[in-house]
Structure 1
Amino acid sequence: MATYTHFAKQPDVLKHLILCEVLKNETPQVYVETNSACAIYPMTQTPEQQYGIYHFLEKADEVPSLKDSVYYQLESGEMAKGNYLGSPALAMNVLGKQAKRFVFFDLEKSALENVGTYAKQIGLSASVEIHHTDSSRGTIELLPSLPTSSFIHIDPYEIDKKGNSGVTYLDVLIQATLLGMKCLLWYGFMTGDDKASLDNYITSSLEKAGIKDYTGVELAMNSIRKDSVLCNPSILGSGILATNLSQTSTDIILDYSNQLVDIYKDAKYKDYDGSLYIQHL
């Protein structure tokens, strides 16, 4: 098993809930994921997971729209077996055989082996490609060969740091967006200062590239502080940035983000305030 430990925490709930619903709506035939990690993980019921997927599943039982979501349906079934589905498994389950091609990048070989094994189990090996390489470079090089209808899922945590390729993950989104592709980017932050810096980086970079039509939402714990870390549930805030999606998908992003704020209004992470607030870019 790969060394990833971030799975099933609160930022994953935001990312994966929205990813599933948007993919169901957009139905792309080519799906590319820059930082896949594993397809499936054994659950360990840490405090961070209790604040994440366990809280979501408990509260979603009381909210019909969340209980009917693709994410709830997929995860509740797998959680009953003691597992959590990561984004590669969620994407493969949502799109299935109607997608002609799945492309997964990661630097951890064991994570990609996990993805390959899961693809074989659900009968999708023939359409799955795995690339054990730097994904910023790999994705940038891949983009010109893809149809404009491709869906690019960019999931790096840090979107403002240049990799060996000399580009950032926001650069990947910008290039894919300008080529007409559908993009969903997730990123995280730990302090208010980090958040403000990223917000400025995102808006200024998109403006410079001439990209005006985009959707951006951020959810952060009310326990987040300006320049210090009061508690560490893995990530104190995260954002979703989307481009070239349909109006229905845009509405999905906004609606489900607001619903997460609602179901976390009385949440606790250990003894800390686990409630969330939302901000739009």
Structure 2
Amino acid sequence: MEEYTHYGKQADVFKHLVLCEVLNNEVPAVYVDTNSASAVYQLEHTPERDYGIYHFLQNASMNDKLKDSLYYRLESGAVLKGCYYGSPALAMKVLRAKVDKYHFFDLESKSLENVKAFSEVEHLDDRVIIRECDSTKGVMDLLPALPETAFLHLDPYEIDVKGTDGHTYFDIFVQATQLGMKCLLWYGFMTLDDMLRLDKHIATCLQKADIQKNVIGSKLIMNNIEKDAISYNPGILGSGLLASNLSDKSNHQLLDFTRLLVGVYKNSRYSGRDGGVHCAKEKEKALKTAVFKAFT
């Protein structure tokens, strides 16, 4: 497995901005990261990161909500050190010793060594459990032992591809939601056809599990995304977040931050092209068909 290289790109900004605020609101007893990758990365300028974290930090300061966000404050400090915080570092920085156990899953041993080293620096290593395995099976096996107060951060990109035990990451999201756990699931897509296929898959699964009322979601999509072709690639052309069993405050912030990021990227450019984005928000309790009723 190749080491994660998407850190600091626009999709990371979207998911990590929301993740920090949600964790601060919910304060779970147990934190589970299904695709942790590294805690800290060395940061350097690339077209993708100039469009991602560097653009965000430069422009978010103009909005009080974004400037006051935990993500802005944490990454601002990290960038001054030439670094970028991945989700393990952000989770540990936000939750500290309020969490009894952190479970970090990944297939890349170097990434997990990075996570362990960061936990030692933060004096949280006695709370951290490193799991080098296929997390579709590993998390499914772990679910029965987790308390209802657990929080699952699922960050797979592909949510409908089966792992070694026949389960998908969306299966994990559904089962954890049914057990009453709090979840935040990120996924990506590169064309509108891919987005619509995933919309239908998600809606059908949620209806079958009868958990629509527990789930809320949002998508951030580049304006130049095409129906079935990829003309350029700043990292990800579209991504979605699905959250379940969260507080009203967290649900509101998920939708609000998506809207604010549209403003941050208004009139932006990526390699000379339009870098603008738009959002689509889904309230699954309003679903009456197998396709999301999305609104902007």
Q: Could you tell me which residue of structure 2 aligns to residue 259 of structure 1? A: 260
Q: Could you tell me which residue of structure 1 aligns to residue 220 of structure 2? A: 219
What amino acid is the match of 1:57? Answer: L
SS of aligned partner of 1:89: helix
What amino acid is the match of 1:274? Answer: G
The alignment of Structure 1 onto Structure 2 pairs a total of residues equal to 280
User: Per-residue displacement from partner, 1:220-273 (whole Å, max 9, x unpaired)?
Assistant: 100100000011011101000000001110001001010001111111111111
- Cα contact 2:3–2:37 (8 A) shared by 1: no
User: Per-residue displacement from partner, 1:130-177 (whole Å, max 9, x unpaired)?
Assistant: 100000000011011011010000000000111111011000000000
Q: Could you tell me which residue of structure 2 aligns to residue 92 of structure 1? A: 92
Q: Displaced runs of 4+ in structure 1, greater than 6 A? A: none
- Cα contact 1:192–1:225 (8 A) shared by 2: yes
What amino acid is the match of 2:147? Answer: P
Q: Could you tell me which residue of structure 2 aligns to residue 202 of structure 1? A: 202
TM normalised by structure 2 equals 0.94
- Cα contact 1:78–1:85 (8 A) shared by 2: yes
SS of aligned partner of 2:185: strand
SS of aligned partner of 2:212: coil
User: In 2, Cα distance between the equivalents of 1:251 and 1:8?
Assistant: 24
Q: Could you tell me which residue of structure 2 aligns to residue 126 of structure 1? A: 126
- Cα contact 1:221–1:237 (8 A) shared by 2: yes
TM superposition shift of 1:280: 1.7
What amino acid is the match of 2:102? Answer: F
Q: Could you tell me which residue of structure 1 aligns to residue 3 of structure 2? A: 3
User: Per-residue displacement from partner, 1:161-218 (whole Å, max 9, x unpaired)?
Assistant: 1111101100000000000000000000000000000010001110011111211100
TM superposition shift of 1:115: 0.2
SS of aligned partner of 1:259: helix
User: 5+ residue gaps in structure 1?
Assistant: none
Q: Could you tell me which residue of structure 2 aligns to residue 275 of structure 1? A: 276
- Cα contact 1:223–1:231 (8 A) shared by 2: no
Matches within 5 A, 1:1-281: 3-213=3-213, 214-281=215-282
TM superposition shift of 1:3: 2.3
Q: Could you tell me which residue of structure 1 aligns to residue 289 of structure 2? A: none
